[in-house]
Every structure is written in C-alpha cells, then in structure tokens.
C-alpha cells in the first residue's frame, strides 16, 4: 500500500522503455499505472509510418498495421538511439527526411498525450526513468543521452523534468509491499539494458524523502532483451538466409546484412537501393543460392521486423520450453524451423557472463557479502530468461527471488518518486 494514497500527485512518472513504455500517477483509490492503449497499461515503443493511409500509428496498432502488410516504415527500439551516433542522423520516411530526434519527440509526445487522456488532466512535470548507464564506460556520452531525453521531454510540453535510475524506481515500488526491513538487489533486465541496485528497504524508510543512505550501490551494462534477440537470430535463424555461407571463391558472404537484420534499430538500413544492388552482386557469386533467395525475398518484402518478431517470440517461448518452432512462410511457403534452448544459451552465453560480472562487481563495490542479501527483485521483460536467473541465483545463495510486474514496476515506482519530489 502506498504511503501517499491520500493525496493526488502533481507530477507523473514516465518509463520510456526500449520495448515497452508506461506512465504512472498517484491518486487515491486508483491504480498507479495509466492505461495507454485500449485499456492496456503498456504502450509498445513502436512507431509505424503507414504510407498507404498517409498516417502514423503507435504501439500495438502500429505493429498490427505493419503485420497486416501495409506499405510503410516500422521503427522500434527507439530508446537505443540515445547515446548513439545515430541520434544526430535521419532516415527517409514516406519520401521525406525524418531526423531521429524528431522521431523520438513523436513517440514521447504521444506517450504524454495518452497519459493525459487516461488521467483526465495535463502533466507539465515528470520524473523519467533512465538506465544506470545509457552508454557503458563513456560518461560524456551518457550525460549527452540524458540531455537528449530531457530536451525531447521539454520539446513535447514538459516544463519540469528530472530523472531517477530505473532499478531505484522499481525498488520504491517493491517497498510498498513489504512488512519488514530487507536488503534487496533490484534486477531490472529490460529491452536495452541490465541495471542493478542494492537498496535497504522498509515500511518505515518508505516515508523518508531523502534515501541516499539506503542506496548501497548501482551497476549496469548495456545488455538487454534486444541483444538476446540479436544473438539468437544470428545463431538460430540467419544461417537459413545465408549467414556464414560461402561465395564461389570460398570467402564468406558479408555478415553486415545479417547483423543489421538481427538488430532492431538497424533493420531499416537493409532496405536502401545501394544495399539491394550490392546483394545482386553477392547473389551472383553465392555458392548456395537457395539461402540467398530467402534473404532477397525477405528484403524485397521489407519483412525484417516481421522476422525479428518471430525471433522475439521464440526467445520468450524458450523461457518455458526446451524448443520453439518458427513458422517462416513469409520467407518461403512451408518453411518451418526449430530452435532449442541449448542453441539460445550457447548464443547468448557471453551476454550472460557480462551481466554476471556486473552483479559481482556491484557486490564488491558495496562491500556487502552475498549471504547478507535477503531478496532479489526481478523486473523488466527480459528478467525471465532462465540462464540469467540461474547465474544471479548462484551469486546470491541466501536470497529469495521475487518477481515484480515485469513491465510495470518501474513506471509505478517513478510515480512514487514523482510524489516525493513534487508533492500534490
């Protein structure tokens, strides 16, 4: 139960996520998260520019229009632009140049509009979530990413903007449910980053405004669900399209096409006339033309996002099953392909190693023995990956695992922080 349940907050919390976004607002007798699309609390971070209808669609509607076969451009993993060199670039949409900064503003403006419609009021103040590191090992680029997000938020109408680390926000959400003091590792494994915070929580501490002494350590690495999608795609699917196959001179088919198709925010790069002409040359020299036929068919249909969605579905299925079956009729009629969990775990083992090292370093930095940690609180849509959970559990043998709202804990916690900072 929230400590602030008797007041209406002046500000909202915004979780702009790589895969999904939420908005939270504290007010008496009502759920914290606001409905953003057809009564649902999440808005997939998707923009679809529908060329046939000359319209722009967001979230599930955008995905549905794309999958229904409308001509246009699908943009996903928009948050990945922050801190990258792409942010100052542009892409072509409906025959016009669209700066990536404007693309971000379109989505965040839509997120604000939907939150306001759901709340029945305007918001000019917000606490935005941010990963512990937008960019690993580059403080300047990390600060620039936060500035870009703040500038974008102000551009769409927020007058006061501040930030809270996403795992800290999740901690504040979890704290509303506990009855005693706990030392908690928050494990927020989202679409773009894996973030961790070691926090001392209790019902009594929840009422405090200043919580600096309760935060023992933060850590994070720029690895998330989209990276797991990428490496699963490269290992399990892209070989069907010619990845790691040979040219007639025994050289490898260039890998860049496959890396772009396997990475959510670069899929559209494969649709240029220049790439199409290059691939005609590659096709002529390919030793296995059947696989290149599949690649060319996929690109000609601009079906890269469709394939990425199939891979993402397989990743999710492999969290509960030993095998996932992909129906790939759009590439070739009757094409069915199985991927097993062993392939997934082998392909993503290096990512899991990096996440494990991040948690171990956080414990060392905090000077806290692993045995002292009471609870691991999992949030983020990718926190259900079995190998990740197993490795984190092995580091913290005495901790119990608690699963929060995988997509809503951060937005709800940001709403708590918005009330703390800005009041009612």
User: Quick one: 322 exposed, middle or buried, by C-beta within 10 A (0-12, 13-18, 19+)?
Assistant: exposed
In a domain, 76, yes or no: yes
**CA separation for the pair 387, 329 (Å, rounded):** 30
User: Which of 218-233 are b and which e, b meaning 16 or more Cβ less than 10 Å from the residue's Cβ?
Assistant: bbbbbbbbbbbbbbbb
Question: Which of 346, 376, 393 finishes a domain?
Answer: 346
Q: Does residue 31 sit in the same domain as residue 151?
A: yes
Residue-wise pLDDT for 29-80, tens only, equals: 999 999 999 999 999 999 999 999 999 999 999 999 999 989 999 999 899 9
Q: Residue 394 domain-assigned?
A: no
First to last CA, the chain: 18
Burial class (CB in 10 A: 0-12, 13-18, 19+), 398: exposed
Token pair for 22:
């939420």
The verdict on residue 206 lying in a domain is: no
In terms of domains, do 97 and 246 share one? no
Question: How far are the Cα atoms of 28, 375, 423 from residue 7, in angstroms, in the given order?
Answer: 6, 30, 9
How many separate domains does the chain show? 2
Q: 32 and 175 share a domain?
A: yes
185 assigned to some structural domain = no
Please report, rounded to a whole number, the percentage of residues in the chain having pLDDT higher than 70.
99
**Taking a C-beta distance cutoff of 8 angstroms, is the pair 347, 262 a contact?**
no
Angular region, 371: left φ>0, alpha ψ -120 to 50, beta rest: alpha
pTM: 0.89
Q: Which domain covers residue 240, as residue numbers?
A: 226-346
Spatial separation of the C-alpha atoms in residues 123 and 109, rounded to whole Å: 12
Both tokens of residue 105? 């503003």
The pLDDT-based confidence of 2 (bands split at 50, 70, 90) is very low
Assess if residue 378 is contained within a domain: no
Q: Is pLDDT above 60 for 3?
A: no
Q: Do 242 and 322 sit in the same domain of this protein? A: yes
316 has a pLDDT exceeding 90: yes
- Identify whether residues 250 and 340 lie together within a single domain: yes
- E strand or H helix at 124: none
Q: In 301-408, which ranges are continuous DSSP H helix?
A: 304-317, 341-366, 386-395
Indicate whether 242 and 115 sit together in one domain: no
- The H or E element spanning position 333 is none
DSSP 399: P
Based on the fold, state whether residues 168 and 238 are members of the same structural domain: no
Rounded CA separation 411/382 (Å): 16
411 and 337 housed in the same domain: no
Domain check: are 45 and 118 in the same one? yes
Q: Last residue of some domain: 312, 346, 380?
A: 346
**Same domain flag for 123 and 40:** yes
213-247 confidence digits (pLDDT tens): 899 999 999 999 999 999 999 999 999 999 999 99
Confidence class of residue 5 from pLDDT cuts 50, 70 and 90? low
Residues 30 and 168 occupy one common structural domain: yes
Helix (H) or strand (E) holding 223: none
Residue 267 domain-assigned (yes or no): yes
Contacts of 225 (CB under 8 A, 6+ apart): 18, 19, 189, 190, 191, 192, 312, 315, 380, 381, 382
Check residue 367 and give left, alpha or beta (phi > 0: left; psi -120 to 50: alpha).
Answer: left
Q: Which of 326, 346, 366 is the last residue of a domain?
A: 346
| Rounded to 5°, angle at Cα 415 from 8 and 162 | 110
Classify residue 360: in a domain, yes or no: no
Per-residue model confidence as pLDDT tens digits over 365-421: 999 999 999 999 999 989 999 999 999 999 999 999 999 888 999 999 999 999 999
Task: For residue 135, give the CATH number of its domain.
Answer: 3.30.420.40
In sequence order, what are the beta bridge partners of 15? 22
Residues 288 and 415 grouped into a single domain = no
> What DSSP character marks residue 84?
S
Q: Is residue 95 part of a domain?
A: yes
């Amino acid at each position: 139960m929230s400590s602030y349940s008797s007041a209406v907050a002046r500000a909202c919390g915004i979780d702009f996520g790589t895969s999904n976004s939420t908005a939270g607002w504290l007010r008496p007798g009502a759920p914290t998260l606001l409905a953003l699309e057809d009564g649902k609390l999440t808005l997939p971070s998707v923009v679809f520019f529908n060329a046939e209808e000359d319209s722009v669609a967001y979230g599930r509607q955008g995905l549905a229009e794309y999958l229904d076969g409308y001509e246009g451009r699908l943009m996903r993993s928009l948050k990945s632009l922050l801190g990258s060199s792409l942010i100052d670039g542009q892409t072509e949409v409906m025959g016009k140049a669209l700066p990536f900064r404007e693309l971000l503003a379109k989505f965040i403006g839509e997120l604000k509009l939907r939150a306001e419609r759901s709340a029945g009021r305007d918001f000019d103040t917000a606490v935005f979530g941010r990963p512990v590191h937008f960019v690993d090992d580059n403080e300047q680029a990390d600060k620039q990413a936060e500035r870009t997000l703040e500038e974008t938020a102000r551009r769409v109408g927020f007058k006061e903007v501040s930030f809270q680390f996403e795992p800290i926000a999740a901690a504040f959400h979890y704290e509303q449910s506990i009855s005693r003091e706990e030392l908690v590792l928050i494990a927020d494994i989202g679409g773009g980053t894996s973030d961790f915070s070691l926090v001392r929580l209790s019902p009594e501490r929840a009422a405090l405004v200043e919580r600096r002494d309760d935060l023992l350590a933060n850590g994070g690495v720029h690895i998330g669900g989209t990276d797991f999608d990428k490496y699963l795609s490269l290992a399990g699917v892209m070989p069907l399209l010619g990845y790691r196959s040979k040219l007639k001179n025994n050289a490898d088919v260039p890998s860049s096409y496959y890396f772009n198709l396997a990475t959510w925010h670069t899929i559209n790069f494969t649709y240029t006339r220049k790439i199409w002409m290059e691939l005609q040359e590659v096709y002529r020299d390919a030793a296995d033309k059947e696989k290149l036929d599949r690649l060319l068919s996929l690109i000609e249909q601009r079906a890269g996002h469709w394939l990425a969605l199939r891979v993402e579905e397989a990743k999710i299925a492999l969290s509960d099953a030993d095998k996932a079956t992909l129906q790939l009729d759009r590439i070739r009629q009757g094409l069915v392909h199985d991927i097993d969990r062993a392939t997934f775990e082998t392909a993503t083992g290096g990512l899991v190693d990096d996440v494990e090292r991040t948690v171990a370093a956080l414990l060392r930095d905090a000077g806290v023995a692993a045995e002292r940690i009471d609870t691991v609180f999992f949030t983020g849509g990718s926190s259900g990956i079995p190998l990740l959970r197993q490795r984190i559990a092995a580091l913290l043998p005495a901790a119990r695992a608690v699963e929060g709202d995988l997509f809503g804990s951060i937005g709800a916690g940001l709403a708590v922080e918005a009330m703390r900072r800005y009041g009612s």
